[in-house]
Amino acid sequence: MSEEMKSTARKRVLSGMRPTGKLHLGNYMGALKNWVELQNATFEDGSPKYECYFFIADFHALTTDYADTSELRVNIKQVALDFLSAGLDPKRSTIFLQSEVQAHFVLNDMLGMVTPLSWLERVPTYKDQQEQLKEKDLATFGFLGYPVLMSADILLYQPDFVPVGLDQAPHVEITREIARRFNHLYGSKRTAANTAKSDKERLAELEKSTDVREILPEPRVLLTPSPKLPGTDGRKMSKSYGNTILLSDPESEIRAKLKTMVTDPARVRRTDPGNPDVCPVFDLHKVFSSDEVQTQAAEGCRTAGIGCIQCKGWLADAVVKELAPIQERRRHFEQNPDDVDAILDDGAFRANGRAAVTMRQVFSAVGLSRR
Ligand code: TRP
Ligand code: SF4
């Protein structure tokens, strides 16, 4: 393949994560691990398949947590450590902090100009989150505008793919709709619409245009397969339930947490046979343990050949093994905080450069320009 073909074949990937504090196994299996795989994917000739951008969405934290930012700074640091520990590599990915690329906010404002309120009000998370987070006052402009900010995060880098979990897919969909509207408004020849008597007529005309320049290409969602990952209480692993196993938990902590994890409730005594199909411990085995261990655990459970403590011990072995290289990298970065700063400085520098390219196109297309 020629150099030129290679670069056209290389697709751009972008994703972000809110700084919620130290990341847990659910964050890892549901997102980070997938990002690392995308970063490391290569063509047959060994060249990278994707140009990757991954960022810490610190500004997004304010959409719900504006009233208390006391933990933001430490959370950002912890997530940065987790990104690098998990294997994101600044040589292969651009890793940065959202607030250090201020074009996110400029594009957010720009897109806000063209986004109908009705689109934002019908985003499923809008009402859901207001219901679920009753203790917070989410009747704010910023919270309603969350999907616009996320669209700006994405469109700023003109990516081909956005890897996210199912919960974020509607946000990528609205990103596509906003991009389409922007492109029709500012990327089509306006002559046809110039006779229109109202915005409505003009928009209708512009939406019919076929010859549209893709200033902001519509990105595609890359759904991250998310295995069922229960926490120690059997509910979905989530920081808000306090049932997590952290990527940074020491081995003794991992073993202790798993020891108290809920099991098949029908298996009361050691001599009772159990049912792995209804046991959250076994759900974790399916994610982390080898086929042999899974078979051994399932058989031992059904025949009461093993006790739950032993079964959990095997699971802990697998989890500890998965996390060993992550924790080794974490130790390195914890001992060398200057390395982390240098990586994020460089990431911001690169991201700002790429963002500037898009912003020039955006400003020029809109007509915010003297020339
Ligand atoms: N909204 C995402 C979440 O809560 C985080 C996010 C912000 C994001 N901007 C993004 C993800 C852009 C992908 C692309 O998980
Ligand atoms: Fe669950 Fe394992 Fe106990 Fe069976 S033996 S109930 S799979 S923890």
Report strand pairing: 93-97 vs 50-56. parallel
- Of the listed ligands, the closest to the CA of 62 is 1
> CA distances (Å), 61 to each of 57, 71, 73, 141, 144, in order?
7, 11, 11, 14, 14
Which of 284, 312, 315, 319 maximizes ligand 2 atoms within 8 Å of its Cβ, making it the mutation to test the pocket? 312
Maximum Cα interatomic distance, the chain, rounded to a whole number of Å: 83
Query: What's at 133, amino acid-wise?
Result: L
Closest ligand to 304 CA?
A: 2
CB under 6 Å to ligand 2: residues? 263-264, 267, 274, 276, 279, 281-282, 297, 301, 306, 308, 311-312
Task: Write the residue with the smallest CA distance to atom 3 of ligand 1.
Answer: 17
pLDDT of residue 150: 98
Contact 103, 359 (CB under 8 A): yes
What average pLDDT does this structure show over 329-348?
A: 98
pLDDT value, residue 124: 85
Is a pLDDT exceeding 90 seen at residue 5?
no
pTM of the model: 0.94
What is the distance in A from the centroid of ligand 2 to the CA of 11? 44
Q: What is the pLDDT of residue 227?
A: 82
**What is the CATH code of the structural domain delimited by 239-334?**
1.10.240.10
- What's phi and psi for 294, nearest 5 deg? -60, -45
pLDDT band at residue 185, thresholds of 50, 70 and 90? very high
* CA-based torsion, 229, 235, 241, 245: positive or negative: negative
Domain ranges of the chain: 3-226+337-366, 239-334
Fold match, 3-226+337-366 / 239-334: no
Residue 116 CB partners (closer than 8 Å, separation 6+): none
pLDDT of residue 263: 97
CA distance 92 to 28: 19
**Dihedral pair phi/psi, residue 162, rounded to 5°:** -125, 105
d(CA 197, CA 181): 19
Task: State yes or no: pLDDT of 238 exceeds 80.
Answer: yes
Give me the residue label for tokens 């020491």.
Answer: 250
CATH number 3.40.50.620 given to 3-226+337-366:
yes
Whole-angstrom distance, CA of residue 272 vs CA of residue 322: 31
Cβ within 8 Å of residue 59, ≥6 positions away: 98, 99, 104, 105, 149
CA distance readout (Å), 1 to 11, 12, 39, 45, 57: 15, 19, 20, 9, 36
* Closest Cα to atom 4 of ligand 2: 301
pLDDT in tens, 35-74: 999 999 999 999 999 999 999 999 999 999 998 999 999 9
Measured in whole angstroms, the distance separating CA 110 from the mean position of its chain's CA atoms is 23
Alpha carbons 154 and 20: distance in angstroms, whole number: 20
What are the angstrom distances between the C-alpha of 333 and each of 115, 123, 146, 231, 338? 41, 39, 32, 27, 8
State in Å: Cα 184 to ligand 1 middle. 25
29, two tokens: 């299996």
| Nearest atom, ligand 2, residue 285 CA | 7
What is the average per-residue pLDDT within 125-139? 85
Relative to the CA of 163, which ligand 1 atom is closest?
13
The predicted pLDDT at position 191 comes to 60
